[in-house]
A and B are shown apart, each in its own frame.
Chain A
Amino acid sequence: MLVQTIVAIIFILGGVFFLTVSSIGLLRFPDFYARTHAVGKSETLGSILVLAGLAIYNGWELSTAKVLFILIFVLIANPTATHAIARAALRSGLQPWTRKTKPNGKDDGNDNNIEAGTG
């Protein structure tokens, strides 16, 4: 097996790991502002790693240049889009999730504020 193919497989597996982290974060995080971390950072890194692996596997062609164009576009556009949505949510009055604390400042340990995304 070529060295090129092995490097491509390593890149693609790393990218799939970050895409998995992104999907788990989108399902499990408590509110919208936490979920923007999953979509804005993990998804971008996973996407560019998978695309870089495919570009390495393809070799020097015109298609590789197009794949690299998509890579650079995702690297710029995906955090920008996530930031635009988070700014719209903040200006619309969506309150960030906070864990409720007792009056003495200690954490009472339960996530009874976990539905904070609704209000």
Chain B
Amino acid sequence: MSSFLLGITIFIALLTVAGLYRVAVGKTIFDRIIAAGLVGTNGFILLILIGFIFERVSMFVDIAIAYALLNFVVVIVFGKYFDRGKERYP
């Protein structure tokens, strides 16, 4: 089971690199924001998987809760900041 979780962790890390490509390239600022949200979501899934691999779940789950809350707050704040009515998007 540990080697299975290690393979899953490496695969999700590669998917996170795909999200980072959209953060670096992506056309509008909103593409970059939702891609950063995807990177954050994959990030705390990776944290919980790393906790299972090292068998220190109780510590890594607390860090993952903090990451999930921060990820949500960041995306909501950017949504409020760029919600400028008729002003053009950057």
Residue of B nearest to A42 (CB): B38
B28 touches A117 (CB 8 A): yes
B89 → chain A, closest Cβ, in Å?
4
A88 touches B82 (CB 8 A): yes
A79 → chain B, closest Cβ, in Å?
11
B41 touches A74 (CB 8 A): yes
Residue of B nearest to A77 (CB): B72
B34 touches A92 (CB 8 A): no
A54 touches B52 (CB 8 A): yes
The contact string, 1 if C-beta is below 8 Å from chain A, for chain B 64-86, is: 11001101100110111011111
Kindly list chain A residues whose C-beta atoms are within 8 Å of the C-beta of B85: 91-92
Known A-B contacts A5-B1, A69-B65; the reply to A85 vs B19 at CB < 8 A is: no
CA A64 to CA B31, docked complex, whole Å:
34
> Is there a chain B Cβ closer than 8 Å to A93's Cβ?
yes
CA A65 to CA B58, docked complex, whole Å:
11
Kindly list chain B residues whose C-beta atoms are within 8 Å of the C-beta of A118: 27-28
Kindly list chain B residues whose C-beta atoms are within 8 Å of the C-beta of A62: 58
| Top 5 A-B residue pairs of the complex, sorted by shortest distance between their CB atoms | A84-B79, A81-B75, A88-B83, A117-B27, A92-B89
- Residues of A with Cβ closer than 8 Å to B? 5, 9, 12, 16, 19-20, 22-24, 26-27, 31-32, 35-36, 39, 43, 47, 50-51, 54, 57-58, 61-63, 66-67, 69-70, 73-74, 77-78, 80-82, 84-89, 91-94, 115, 117-118
